[in-house]
Homo-oligomer: A and B are copies of this chain.
Amino acid sequence: MDTPVTIHPVILCGGSGTRLWPVSRKAKPKPFLPLIGETTLFEQAVGRVAGHDRFAPPMVVAGAQHVDLIEAQIGAGREHRLVVEPMGRNTAPAIALAAALIPDDEILLVCPSDHHIADEAAFRAAALAAAELARDDWLVSFGIAPTHPETGYGYLHRGEALPGGYRIAQFVEKPDLERAKAYLASGEYSWNGGIFAFRAGALLVELAEHRPAMAQRVAQAVAGGRDEGSRFHPAAEIFAAIEGDSIDYAVMENTARAAMVPADMGWSDIGNWAALHDALPRDDAGNSVRGTADLADCRNVMASSDGPRISAVGLDDVCIIVSDGEVLVTTREGAQNVGKLPGAANQ
């Protein structure tokens, strides 16, 4: 095997979901909350790649509004670089900024910071396999082992075998339930979890081919940018002119060299309260409690309060969240619609 290549973790902190309202708020969105355990998802994302010699110090890409949160949570004295996006333009420009700041022959490991990964060793093993493929100019997505027929994610259809992974035969949009069940049964499909490995130069070449205007503006925004300590500010006006797009649409679905590494690592995007409940430890009745709660004759109930006591009787499959003066009660099934509530929508 060749000399190991340096892997640069690129932690993405974009997006501001509303489905974990009322705990998640615009000013303090999901990555910066201690949803599972005592540390935040962002702290966990940084911690997963810390202290291992194959990983360089992390590069964080985030909006200006979250700089203070990030610098407070990244840990005093931890070497890092923070790329401050003047505004959100989706994942492709964010990743391209990072790629432009990393030596062409080194590897970006793109990690969203709003996901939970229970098995960190499995994550790191998949990351090393992905880096090897990326070194050979494959554009590598982590293929998350599906655990249920989820209709809310995109799927990757596995193609021919590669060393440590597979070609991606097809990208599949969110399926209906029947197709999701068929995918699960076939064993040939993985979830597209938004975790990627790219050689920096390869990613930029592909971007220039499939989104030339975006690639050009990113290069200009970096050339016209400025450093401020560990922060890097791309040129705001140029970056603002970029038409936003996801890395999947801009690159992955267009390249001839899309690959995947299988990753069975207890992944959850914690996309709503029911998903968080699934990722939390539960008692024999399936209940999870954070804060003070008395549950009587309840099954599969999550109760989380930042202060007031929650008392519940007779409930099945319900999430109860008390946070900062708001009280949310949702069925597990209804959890995906929390973002449409007036409280969540009109923050």
A interface residues (Cβ-Cβ under 8 A, vs B): 22, 294, 296-297, 305, 307-315, 318, 320, 322, 325-331, 333-335, 337-338, 340-344
Q: Which residues of B contact A315 (CB under 8 A)?
A: 318, 329-331, 334
Q: Which residues of B contact A327 (CB under 8 A)?
A: 305, 308-311, 320, 322, 327
Q: Which residues of B contact A296 (CB under 8 A)?
A: 334, 337, 340-341
Closest B residue, CB atoms, query A334:
B314
Can you show 8 pairs from A to B with CB atoms below 8 A apart? A296-B341, A308-B327, A311-B329, A311-B338, A313-B328, A314-B333, A315-B330, A320-B329
Q: Which residues of B contact A326 (CB under 8 A)?
A: 308-309, 311
Minimum CB–CB distance from A183 to chain B (whole Å) comes to: 26
Minimum CB–CB distance from A301 to chain B (whole Å) comes to: 9
Q: Rank and list the top 10 A-B pairs by shortest CB-CB distance, nearest first.
A: A314-B334, A313-B334, A314-B331, A313-B330, A312-B329, A311-B341, A311-B328, A310-B327, A311-B343, A294-B342
Minimum CB–CB distance from A310 to chain B (whole Å) comes to: 5
Task: Give Cα A313 to B335, complex, Å.
Answer: 7
Q: Which residues of B contact A322 (CB under 8 A)?
A: 308, 327
Q: Which residues of B contact A330 (CB under 8 A)?
A: 312-315
Closest B residue, CB atoms, query A340:
B296
Closest B residue, CB atoms, query A338:
B313
Copies of this chain, whole number = 2
Max chain B C-beta neighbours (<10 A), residue from A22, A326, A331, A337 = A331
Q: Are A313 and B294 in contact (CB under 8 A)?
A: no
Q: Which residues of B contact A341 (CB under 8 A)?
A: 294, 296, 311, 313
Closest B residue, CB atoms, query A320:
B329
Task: Give Cα A296 to B320, complex, Å.
Answer: 15
Task: Give Cα A310 to B328, complex, Å.
Answer: 6
Minimum CB–CB distance from A251 to chain B (whole Å) comes to: 36
Q: Are A331 and B313 in contact (CB under 8 A)?
A: yes
Q: Are A312 and B328 in contact (CB under 8 A)?
A: yes
Task: Give Cα A313 to B344, complex, Å.
Answer: 12
Q: Which residues of B contact A314 (CB under 8 A)?
A: 330-331, 333-334, 337
Closest B residue, CB atoms, query A312:
B329
Minimum CB–CB distance from A139 to chain B (whole Å) comes to: 39
Q: Which residues of B contact A320 (CB under 8 A)?
A: 327, 329
Q: Are B297 and A342 in contact (CB under 8 A)?
A: no
Closest B residue, CB atoms, query A325:
B308
Q: Which residues of B contact A305 (CB under 8 A)?
A: 327
Q: Which residues of B contact A334 (CB under 8 A)?
A: 296-297, 313-315
Given known contacts A305-B327, A309-B325, A329-B329, what 20 new A-B pairs fall within 8 Å (CB)?
A294-B343, A296-B334, A296-B340, A297-B334, A308-B326, A309-B326, A310-B329, A311-B326, A311-B327, A311-B343, A313-B329, A313-B331, A313-B341, A314-B331, A314-B333, A315-B329, A315-B330, A315-B334, A318-B329, A327-B327
Q: Which residues of B contact A329 (CB under 8 A)?
A: 310-313, 315, 318, 320, 329
Closest B residue, CB atoms, query A333:
B314
